[in-house]
Structure 1
Amino acid sequence: MKSQDIRSKFLKFFEDKKHAIVPSAPMVLKDDPTLMFVNSGMAPFKEYFLGNAEPKSNRIADSQKCLRVSGKHNDLEEVGYDTYHHTLFEMLGNWSFGDYFKKEAIAWAWELLTEVYKIDKDILYVTVFEGDEEDGTPLDTEAYDIWKQYIAEDRILKGNKKDNFWEMGDQGPCGPCSEIHVDIRSAEEKAKVSGKELVNMDHPQVVEIWNLVFMQYNRKANGSLENLPNKHIDTGMGFERLCMVLQNVQSNYDTDVFTPIIREIETIADKDYGKNEKIDVAIRVISDHVRAVAFSIADGQLPSNTGAGYVIRRILRRAIRYGFTFLDQKEPFIYRLVDVLIKKMGEAFPELKEQRQLIENVIKEEEASFLRTLDQGLLLLDRIITHSNTKEISGNKVFELKDTYGFPEDLTDLILRENGFTYNHEEFDKKLKEQQERGKQASQLKSDDWTIVLEDDEQEFIGYDVTEANVKLTKYRKVTSKKDGEMYQLVFNLTPFYAEGGGQVGDKGYLEDASGDVVYIVDTKKENNVIIHFAKSLPKNVQGTFKATVDAKQRYRTECNHTATHLLHQALREILGTHVEQKGSAVHSKYLRFDFSHFSKLTVDELRDVENFVNARIEGKLPLQEQRNIPMQQAIDEGAMALFGEKYGDTVRTIKFGKSIELCGGTHVKNTADIWHFKIVSEGAVAAGIRRIEAITNDAVKDFYFENNRAYFEMKDLLNNAKEPVKALQNLQEENTNLKKQIEQLLKDKAKNLKGELKNELTEVNGITFLAKQVDLDAAGIKDLCFELGSQYDNLFLLFGAENDGKALLSCYISKELVAEKSLNAGQIVRELGKHIQGGGGGQPFFATAGGKNPSGIKDALEAVKSYIA
């Protein structure tokens, strides 16, 4: 059975069971601070389980793309070495929100597997939760009794909390679960060891394929459990593992999900899969990782140096280094696999087709960049090996290669072993652990349980219409983090505060009670569909009524910038072409940032045209035309632009200014005239095929022109109020260039004369021609002097000191024959001597320099250098 048919049969089965079939949500999460990526099928539905939103149906089924490469669920380092873990995987799932429960979930799972997919009942095992004395949760007898109707009791296994109790996090909805495992070993292997002994033992042919979670408890901050008012079903079946079973192969990578990609890698690399374990691992890593990276880019997450972008870059670089090391791929090649991937998965996930060009360009550029990094790292590593006095390299140096230069430690280890070296693993692990601990402490967040003040399930946002309102607190909790210290999260029955989203920053403002006491709101965010207000303190009377006031000036400036991003988007598509698509934005009160797809730097004329286009719409005084809660399809039919990677509901809000119409939940000015003026302040590349414009509007433009005007008159004053200040500056530049040339010539003449004097001061010590002296030259002059003397004398050792602008300089020159014969190293010597001038430096073995802040130490350095040749 082909993988496409397997997916279709699953969705059709649950459609017949009255489930609404929904498309996969974007993999990159934007409104859940607890997760970077969707890491399970239930993640897009958290708000329903938490009771913060109503689902379109109480029964839903889908195939959700998931990524497990960070946090608690991290399979990255296992990928490639076994045959059933992946970074990106599809999770087939069916969901019940307060509708059916264990009886139906178990019955339908068994029906689908054994009657629709025709899996032999004799190769299946199931597990149920055995209970936990610490929690006080009992054996899941209900699930056990239901399973007895379908499968022999000796195939129903009792599992521990780790395997058979599912939790959303440290707090929140949770419950026992039943896993369904399949044993696809040969009859001979089964005769030797029973499958029940291998369940949950990481055996590659005895694997879990489906997990049925029975969500019936709520975990509180103190660890205790309470019953949920409504019971839910959350199931997840690994699509790739199911394909392995139904296609009768022994590895996920032998299914038609992966084989086309593997064949393409074999062709490109001229390597055969299945003949060499190291090559096989590399091919599995690459075939898995290209899927994760391609889907992430399609969902709007580009590789970068921070957050989710860093995770994607790390996955791609892992693939590149496996290709580099084991497949001899020294040129970009992974981007060439995208075409095969799209042919295989483009029908089920059309975003891959639509973003093909971007995906290929980004991957190709990232490959080229990291291959340059690998080349640089190889040179640095070669230098470390060449100058090492022992066969064990410092773990600190290996960590520096990884942390500073991005050179992976496993590649370092491989190269060192090939050259008969090793490195201090304890030192490296210590450094790595310290770095991880710093990151963990910075991001650690401790939160109390919510304290309910007012029972109110409906929270209303009224900020599109007002910036002030009387509100009541419905719940609050205290959260503590190393970054922000102690904060309070407040939820109101209604709020005028806009929560961060769609690139727009969250509102700030204050609460005022009846007595005049004020609590400042420092930020507003949305978590699982709930608007949360952050405050440094808690109102004195939490049950009172408060006047909630948004910082109107900041909101207004932000609205100007947000509306300007819409006009900018329209301008770019009009001037550069319809290939331009928004790839990210940040809308603050002081500026706006807009990322978009385009493959070349904008010319001066293009930038001017974009500015003029936006400002023409500002001068045109276009009114805001807003539609709230209209059907998604109606909005698209009316021309609204939807962005890739955004999660939209069945109903949406459209914002229209003239011919610019977009789906948007942000706040905007009532008329484009409010923006006053639009000014681009920078344009540049942020990734392959992605450009970034930063711009300002309104007050920020006024400040910009005021500062430029002030700087102009200050410059003119310095030029004695010249009538043509630009021409006066050009004359000054020409004069300065001529003077520099004269000074350079004078310095050269000075160095030439000095060279003649210094020849008489050279002395011979132990067969070395030696001189240590303080001179009155700059760094360039000293270097010229060293190499001129070096061209005339063999076995030369020079140390010159100089004071320039109150700072000390040391320059050391050693003839190459001395470097080789006597193991002298100018870099090491100057680094040690630099301590005398309270500085440091380095360089090559034959020439190096050091700078410091203590010129009085030059004398001591010149004296100390004698010890190296004594």
Structure 2
Amino acid sequence: MTSQDVRKQFLDFFASNGHLIVPSAPIVLKDDPTLMFNNSGMAQFKEYFLGNATPKSNRIADTQKCLRVSGKHNDLEDVGFDTYHHTMFEMLGNWSFGDYFKKEAINWAWQLLTEVYKIPKENLYVSVFEGNPDENVPFDQEAWDIWKELIDEDRIILGNKKDNFWEMGDQGPCGPCSEIHVDIRSAEEKALVSGKSLVNNDHPQVVEIWNNVFMEFNRKADGSLEKLPAQHVDTGMGFERLCMALQGKTSNYDTDVFTPLIEKVEQITGLKYTSNEVLNISEEQNKTNIAIRVVVDHVRAVAFAIADGQLPSNTGAGYVIRRILRRAIRYGFTFLNTKEPFINQLVAVLANQMGEFFPEIKSQQQLVTNVIREEEASFLRTLDQGLQLLENVVADTKGATVSGAKAFELYDTFGFPIDLTALILREKGFELDEAGFNAAMQEQKNRSRAASEVSTEDWSVLIPGNVETFVGYDQSESDVKITRIRKVDSKKDGILYQIVLDNTPFYPEGGGQVGDKGTLFSANETIEIIDTKKENNLILHFAKKLPENVNAGFTAKVNQDLRSLSSRNHSATHLMHQALRSILGTHVEQKGSLVNPNYLRFDFSHFAKMTESELQQVEDFVNTRIQEQLPLIERRNIPFAQAVQEGAMALFGEKYGDEVRAIKFGESMELCGGIHVKNTAEIWHFKIVSEGAVAAGIRRIEAITSDAVKAHFASYENTLNEVKTALKNPQDILKAVHSMQEENAKLAKQIEALVKDKVKNLKASLIAEIQEINGIQFLAKQVDLNPEGAKDLAYELGNLGNNLFLVLATADEEKPMLTCYISKELVAEKNLNAGQVVRELGKFIQGGGGGQPFFATAGGKNVAGIQQALEKAIEFVK
């Protein structure tokens, strides 16, 4: 049974049992501040479990792309070393929202596994929650009784809270669960050891494949549990592990989920992967196997994240994706001998393999390939740089142990992997101070944890059952009542209060547009709203204090000045998107945006730097649409398929409902939930400020409109007037500037000639000052030259003969510079290195530098340290 068959049969089975089949949500979460990534099948349904929204069906089934590499669920360091952990995995799931419960969920699970997939019953074990008296949660008698009708009692295991009680987080819906484990060991192994004893003991062939969670409780901030108003079922079955069991394998990596990728790696590297069936493999082969498993696992996570709109970066979710990819690169670099980018070649295999069910990987294939290739090339350069820096660390190390703090600096500042550092040091006969490294790492983690620490109280519900409505498209002011409040205390922002209203004109951050600011006011008081966000389908208004009377009637009023500026930038973004597709081509797609009152930022797919002409064409295109005074045509609640069919742009990585909102200005039509101008004339004018690269194949434009353009032009006019004054008010400013440039060029040539004469004169006088020490011609001297002149002088003196060790110091414009020249004979015979010399002497001028073994320079900022540096130079030849 192929993996495609396994997936299809699961969905067909639940469709036949009244479940609506829905597509996977994006792997990257953009509207849930509590999660970076979709780390479980239920993440996209949180708002239903919390009662903040109504599902389109009470029975749903799907397969969800999941990523577990950060926070509580972190499998990253296990990946590659065992055969069943993954960063990205598929979670097959069926859901009941207040409909069926334990009996149906358990019976369907058993029927699918034993009758449809035909897994032998004697290979299965199940677990039931044993209860927890401390939290007043009883033994799950109901689940036990249902399982007794299906399986022998000796195959039912009692599980503790860790294994058999599922929680969304520290707070929120939770409940007991019933896991199903499969034993895929050989008959001989089963005869020796009972599978029951191996359940939940990390045995690679006795693994959990399905978890049925019965959501009955809500975990409050104080840790107590309360019954939910409705009972829900949340199940998750590991697709990769299920394929392993059904395809008769003992490793997920031996299934057709991974074998096409492994075969491609073998083809690229010329190395062979041995399946889990092979016994007694060598240590070298085991390292190869681990590296290949790391690469084929990680490319899936990275490729799907990029396809869903998350580019590698140095912060947040982008940093996690970059870290996963770099882990794959360094395993290839160290154990597969790949010194050139190669992981990007796996994307085509992945697209061919999974593109039918996950079309985003097919449609974004070229972009994903380009981004991964550029990331690989960049990190391989970093590895080369790190190797050189490690050489310097080793050279400066006294004794046989390299400082853990130095190793951490390489890791933290340059991204050089610690395991690679340790490996290279061992090869050179050095040890790593691992305790020092771990201490530095822990210190950084503590700082990071302290900075992000957040404590959230339970919601205090003032008006139960209210469904909040957003009225901000039509009005910026509304009479409201507060329905719930809670307090949030974070290291970053201090104490804030989150307020939910029965209706609100405040736009919550989303679609790139920042959240509205404004006020809540009554007859007696005014509360400032400093931000608005959305979480689990609730619009949260952030305030630094609560009203004295939270039950009073209020008016919610948006800061219309800020909103108006944001709306102009947002509408300009749509027009610019249309312009880019018209001028550069339809390959252009939005890959990210930021819209606030001050400016707009727009990331888009394009393969080359835009020319000045193209940028001007984009500006002209947008400004023409502004001058045409195009009215906003807004269509709400139209079917998604209809909107796309009519030409609306839908963005990859965004989660759209069955009904959407379409925004149209002339020929520009996009699906968008943001706030827009009523007419393009309100934008006034559009001006591009900058254009540059974000990643391979991704460009970024920053632009301004309206008041910001007026300020921009006013600033340019002021600068022009200042230039005019400095040039003594010439009639033709451009002609005056050209004249000044020509005069400067002539003066520069004269200075260059004078410096050359000075170098010749100095050369003659310095030859007499060279002294011989231990057979080495030595000179350390400060000279009155600029750095370029000192370089010329060094080479002039170096050409006179062999065995010269020269250090020249300059202080041109009060900027100290050391120049070191060492004859190549000395570099070879005496193991002297100009780069090491200037790094050591550079400390005295509070600077540093480097270069080649025979010539190097170091700049600094302490002129007073020059003399000490020159006095120290003699020690290198003594």
Equivalent residue runs for 1:797-816 within 5 Å: 797-815=805-823
**Residue of structure 2 aligned with 1:490, choices 496, 499, 502:** 499
Distance 1:59 1:322, change over 3 A: same
Structure 2 counterpart SS, 1:332: coil
Q: How many Å separate the matches in 1 of 2:643 and 2:875?
A: 82
Residue 557 (structure 1) aligns with = 565
**Residue of structure 2 aligned with 1:335, choices 331, 341, 344:** 344
Contact 1:456–1:474 (Cα < 8 Å) also in 2? no
Q: CA deviation at 1:830?
A: 5.1
**Does residue 1:779 correspond to 2:787, yes or no?**
yes
Distance 1:819 1:198, change over 3 A: same
Q: How many Å separate the matches in 2 of 1:640 and 1:664?
A: 10
Q: CA deviation at 1:815?
A: 4.7
Q: Which amino acid aligns with 1:792?
A: L
Equivalent residue runs for 1:825-864 within 5 Å: 837=845, 849-863=857-871
Instruction: Provide, for residues 426-466 of structure 1, a one-character-per-residue CA deviation record: whole Å limited to 9, x for no partner.
Output: 12222222222222222221111112223242111111111
Distance 1:855 1:687, change over 3 A: closer
Residue 351 (structure 1) aligns with = 360
Q: CA deviation at 1:206?
A: 0.1
Structure 2 counterpart SS, 1:753: helix
**Does residue 1:719 correspond to 2:727, yes or no?**
yes
Structure 1 counterpart SS, 2:481: strand
Q: Which amino acid aligns with 1:570?
A: Q
Equivalent residue runs for 1:12-31 within 5 Å: 12-31=12-31
Instruction: Provide, for residues 403-431 of structure 1, a one-character-per-residue CA deviation record: whole Å limited to 9, x for no partner.
Output: 22222222222333333333221122222
Q: How many Å separate the matches in 2 of 1:441 and 1:719?
A: 55
Distance 1:393 1:854, change over 3 A: closer
Q: How many Å separate the matches in 1 of 2:254 and 2:436?
A: 40
Residue 575 (structure 2) aligns with = 567
**Residue of structure 1 aligned with 2:332, choices 323, 331, 337:** 323
Distance 1:482 1:391, change over 3 A: same
Distance 1:771 1:263, change over 3 A: closer
Q: How many Å separate the matches in 1 of 2:598 and 2:465?
A: 36
Instruction: Provide, for residues 167-196 of structure 1, a one-character-per-residue CA deviation record: whole Å limited to 9, x for no partner.
Output: 111111111111100101111111111111
| Higher deviation after alignment, 664-673 or 542-551 | 542-551
Structure 1 counterpart SS, 2:133: coil
Q: CA deviation at 1:788?
A: 2.6
Structure 1 counterpart SS, 2:134: coil
Q: CA deviation at 1:837?
A: 4.8
Structure 2 counterpart SS, 1:694: strand
Distance 1:814 1:577, change over 3 A: closer
Q: CA deviation at 1:216?
A: 0.8
Q: How many Å separate the matches in 1 of 2:388 and 2:830?
A: 24
Q: CA deviation at 1:203?
A: 0.6
Instruction: Provide, for residues 509-560 of structure 1, a one-character-per-residue CA deviation record: whole Å limited to 9, x for no partner.
Output: 1222312x32221111101111111112222222222222211111001000
Structure 2 counterpart SS, 1:713: helix
Structure 2 counterpart SS, 1:294: helix
Instruction: Provide, for residues 758-813 of structure 1, a one-character-per-residue CA deviation record: whole Å limited to 9, x for no partner.
Output: 22333345554444443322223233333333333544444444433344444455
Q: How many Å separate the matches in 2 of 1:857 and 1:260?
A: 62
Distance 1:284 1:612, change over 3 A: same
**Residue of structure 1 aligned with 2:451, choices 442, 451, 454:** 442
Q: CA deviation at 1:692?
A: 1.5
Equivalent residue runs for 1:55-70 within 5 Å: 55-70=55-70
Unaligned runs of 5+ in 1: none
Distance 1:819 1:637, change over 3 A: closer
Distance 1:810 1:596, change over 3 A: closer
| Higher deviation after alignment, 609-618 or 815-824 | 815-824
Structure 1 counterpart SS, 2:530: strand
Q: How many Å separate the matches in 2 of 1:60 and 1:543?
A: 38
**Residue of structure 2 aligned with 1:525, choices 502, 521, 533:** 533
Distance 1:345 1:409, change over 3 A: same
Contact 1:769–1:796 (Cα < 8 Å) also in 2? yes
Structure 2 counterpart SS, 1:134: helix
Distance 1:38 1:824, change over 3 A: same
Residue 216 (structure 1) aligns with = 216
Residue 290 (structure 1) aligns with = 299
TM-score by length of 2: 0.95
Distance 1:346 1:832, change over 3 A: closer
Residue 542 (structure 1) aligns with = 550
CA RMSD of aligned residues (A): 2.2
| Higher deviation after alignment, 698-707 or 138-147 | 138-147
Q: CA deviation at 1:839?
A: 5.3
Residue 674 (structure 2) aligns with = 666
Q: CA deviation at 1:845?
A: 5.9
Residue 195 (structure 1) aligns with = 195
| Higher deviation after alignment, 414-423 or 569-578 | 414-423
* Number of residue pairs the alignment of both structures matches: 869
| Higher deviation after alignment, 295-304 or 318-327 | 318-327
Residue 608 (structure 1) aligns with = 616
Q: How many Å separate the matches in 2 of 1:839 and 1:107?
A: 72
Distance 1:315 1:855, change over 3 A: closer
Q: Which amino acid aligns with 2:44?
A: P
Residue 414 (structure 1) aligns with = 423
**Does residue 1:77 correspond to 2:77, yes or no?**
yes
Q: How many Å separate the matches in 2 of 1:726 and 1:75?
A: 63
Q: Which amino acid aligns with 2:653?
A: G
Q: How many Å separate the matches in 2 of 1:134 and 1:409?
A: 43
Q: How many Å separate the matches in 1 of 2:844 and 2:306?
A: 53
**Residue of structure 1 aligned with 2:640, choices 632, 637, 641:** 632
Distance 1:375 1:592, change over 3 A: same
Distance 1:825 1:325, change over 3 A: closer
Contact 1:52–1:457 (Cα < 8 Å) also in 2? no
**Does residue 1:701 correspond to 2:709, yes or no?**
yes
Q: Which amino acid aligns with 2:198?
A: L
Q: Which amino acid aligns with 1:354?
A: S
Structure 2 counterpart SS, 1:5: helix
Instruction: Provide, for residues 178-221 of structure 1, a one-character-per-residue CA deviation record: whole Å limited to 9, x for no partner.
Output: 11001011111111111111001111100000000011111111
Q: How many Å separate the matches in 1 of 2:245 and 2:359?
A: 27
Equivalent residue runs for 1:117-128 within 5 Å: 117-128=117-128
Contact 1:571–1:613 (Cα < 8 Å) also in 2? yes
**Does residue 1:266 correspond to 2:274, yes or no?**
no
Distance 1:852 1:283, change over 3 A: closer
Q: How many Å separate the matches in 1 of 2:746 and 2:399?
A: 53
Residue 596 (structure 1) aligns with = 604
Q: How many Å separate the matches in 2 of 1:600 and 1:463?
A: 39
**Residue of structure 1 aligned with 2:654, choices 638, 646, 653:** 646
Q: How many Å separate the matches in 1 of 2:764 and 2:651?
A: 72
Identity of aligned residues (%): 67
Equivalent residue runs for 1:9-408 within 5 Å: 9-274=9-274, 276-385=285-394, 388-408=397-417
Distance 1:397 1:450, change over 3 A: same
Q: CA deviation at 1:862?
A: 4.3
Q: CA deviation at 1:605?
A: 2.0
Structure 2 counterpart SS, 1:805: helix
Q: CA deviation at 1:2?
A: 1.6
Unaligned runs of 5+ in 2: 275-280
